[in-house]
Structure 1
Amino acid sequence: MERTRSTPIPAAWADVLTRVPRDLFLPDEVWLRDSEGGYVSCDRRLDPGGWMGAAYSDAPLVTQFVTESDGTRSPSSSASMPSTVLRLLEDAELGPGTRTLEIGTGSGYNTALLCARLGDALVTSVEVDAPLAARARENLAALSYSPAVIHADGADGWLPHAPYDRVLATCSVRTVPTSWLEQTAPGGRIVTPWDSAWSCFGAVRLTKHRDGRADGTFAAYGSYMLINGQRTDIELFRDVLREGQTPETGTTALSPWAVAGDDPALDFHLGLTVPGAWYSWDTTSADAHTRLWIADTTATSWASVDHDGRRTDTFRTAQYGPRRLWDEIRASYERWTRAGQPAIGRYGLTVTPEGQTAWLDSPDTPVTPP
């Protein structure tokens, strides 16, 4: 595996990586991202050299697609970028005797790394997709690993083997499931990739306390598929925009490009502080040269910000629904700027059985809206 970080691979993990060949956990056909945001097939039967090169590249590989109701194909399982896999494992701070629950078995590669480091008896892995779970068991058995691989919804954890010293997810979440918190032993850690409707990026490392809460900080790495139960199937023109809607119109001096996609730290902040908001760009409208659409995951509110192709000091706005989404985005952007444009690592999260709260620098300075 080619290491993309400047720090060396710890000796314990370097040994594990040599004992777990990644190619043994991949199907004959995998898909890589192309330069246009799509996917290109790489088939071992047609191009064995190219396939093996992909298997040991530091890149995510899609291993399975699902066909949506509208006929489009979306990735439903992947082999994650190896450097990110290792970052999550390092952040889990595994040691001898660490009883670990993995959420999302996938191909079984990450599970095998856990087995090689900890031993089979300490590893429980949960996979929501039954055929994937079956293939993972076969892949693991080929290397003589036999951890408990359970076909179940990872959002529920796996109570029969609890409590765990570590809960390690290979999918992202927007809300840490209460079951993970409850099934983690005091002093244990929950490590999971993070997601928001605005930005799919980051990871969070939480420590469980004796009073039942867990808290910790975010890290600026990782982009993982969202856990099944937290996904939303909402399309702008199908579900959000309706005939007869009369938006409130106005203007803004804040450029839409300033808030949408250019700065990972800002995107992360907006995802935390304007919950449920997501965006898309539109260059096909007859009314604007370029339009930024913003909507929320309830499909009840939307906003648009229009660039006329000429002026860069003022932009037309429209907002509809119970939320004024552009106002929320603008206010959150201004708070981020006043705070000195904080990096992702300055944010943290506190999780209790009643809910979760994001904060900046300290739990005493929450950023999650009440």
Structure 2
Amino acid sequence: MNEQDLRQQLLDHLTADGSVRSAQWKEAVAVTARHEFLGGGFFRQVHGSVPTAWEPVMPGDEGWLSGCYTDVSLVTQIAGTIVPGDIHGRILRQPTSSSTLPGLVVRMLEDLEVEDGMRVLEIGTGTGYSTALLCHRLGDDLVTSVEVDPVVATAAATTLATLGHAPDLVTGDGLAGHKDGAPYDRVIATCGVLTIPGQWIAQTRPGGQILAAVCGWMHSSELARLTVHDDGSATGRLLGGQVSFMLARPHQPPPLGMLPNTDGGTERDTTIDASILDDWTARFVAQTAAPAAQRLDLGDRGQLLLDTDAGSWALLQPGRRGWRVRQGGPERLWDLVEDHLQRWLHDGSPSQDQFRITITPDGHHTYTWPHAR
């Protein structure tokens, strides 16, 4: 199948599954060649590898062109510097940059609710594919895109120029936004964040919107759409769908280092089955209670919640009559998580698309959900 047919096939798929909902974005997808943004190749996960191994797929290789037009995310960088052309064979390091699956890219652009004449700030240029879609929809002069990695930024700028696009491309910390182009009508982020940066709110005009994935170190995340207000606050809701993005580099969790000695601390029965943390929404609730905690699955030994900076930990283990927890450090992590989960369960375990988010002018984030009647 040739490139034109593959592009049409992708568009048909995105239309059928509801990712593309408007004529403007349908046209943008139809004319934007995703393979041009993957000219440096991508990494393909080696099936069945433990730990996960990656192998390069380069232009001309079997599966490269069809892969470019598959509705999946494609890893384009590993370990912060390694690109597909650097590798012959396999690599066992962590991905650090990718081309997000087109369905999620377009869904987010639809959810951004842009109108003609609006100025948009994009956080995370990446390959430049989503930037090109924005340029086609709004015009180059209304699009500003920030990318932290200079190598990634240069590659995106080259491809965009080749396709005739000239948006305002900035190399720098996306968490700081780009105040020189402010105020913006819309801000959209293609990386995950623990909290919405105050700079994004300050650089969005009152009545403008921010769309970003709010995430946590227990690996649950969701898209949040926020409206900015005159007093510097922002309110909105989560959109649902269990999306997942790579966290912005400054928001990555600290290294775990040596695990704590869990023989000490205090022990008690839990009021909630700790396996509830296998549920995506339950983990999101847990993150709001203990945002600095990471979760480790210890197999038969149970689950460990660990705040490495504070030194707090909670070891959860199944017993004969339910789960027990042993906690140590300055904070009782499971007490915090258990309290939030109890309230969420009492209110009927509402789904994430029922969650509201409020950010005060001083940056405090609060998540709420409907109370059970």
TM > 0.5: yes
**3-state DSSP of counterpart to 1:89:** helix
2:260 is aligned with 1:246? no
For residue 361 of structure 1, report the CA deviation from its aligned partner: 4.1
Question: What corresponds to 2:306 in structure 1?
Answer: 295
Trace 1:1-370 onto structure 2 (pairs within 5 A).
Answer: 1=10, 2-3=13-14, 5-6=17-18, 9-33=21-45, 34=47, 38-45=52-59, 47-48=61-62, 50-66=63-79, 73-221=93-241, 222-235=243-256, 238-242=257-261, 246-252=264-270, 254-258=272-276, 260-261=277-278, 263-283=279-299, 289-296=300-307, 298-307=309-318, 311=320, 313-361=321-369
For residue 170 of structure 1, report the CA deviation from its aligned partner: 0.7
For residue 196 of structure 1, report the CA deviation from its aligned partner: 1.2
Q: Distance in 1 between matches of 2:54 and 2:66?
A: 14
Q: Distance in 2 between matches of 1:199 and 1:100?
A: 28
Say if 1:349 and 1:356, in contact at 8 Å, map to a contact too. Answer: no
Change (3 A) 1:248 1:153: same
> Any idea what the Cα deviations from partners look like across 1:337-369, whole Å, max 9, x if unmatched?
10110110111222233013323247xx8xxxx
Say if 1:301 and 1:322, in contact at 8 Å, map to a contact too. Answer: yes
Change (3 A) 1:187 1:37: farther
Say if 1:65 and 1:76, in contact at 8 Å, map to a contact too. Answer: yes
Say if 1:201 and 1:220, in contact at 8 Å, map to a contact too. Answer: no
Change (3 A) 1:74 1:117: same
Q: Distance in 1 between matches of 2:19 and 2:149?
A: 35
Q: Distance in 2 between matches of 1:110 and 1:233?
A: 30
**AA paired with 2:67?**
A
Task: Give the TM-score, by structure 2 length.
Answer: 0.86
Q: Distance in 2 between matches of 1:220 and 1:297?
A: 30
Identical amino acids, percent of aligned pairs = 34
Unaligned runs of 5+ in 2: 1-9, 82-90
For residue 215 of structure 1, report the CA deviation from its aligned partner: 0.8
Say if 1:194 and 1:201, in contact at 8 Å, map to a contact too. Answer: yes
Figure out how many residues of one structure are paired with residues of the other and give that number: 347
For residue 90 of structure 1, report the CA deviation from its aligned partner: 1.1
> Any idea what the Cα deviations from partners look like across 1:231-277, whole Å, max 9, x if unmatched?
22221xx244159x72212333633212x22x222222222233222
For residue 26 of structure 1, report the CA deviation from its aligned partner: 1.1
Task: Give the TM-score, by structure 1 length.
Answer: 0.87
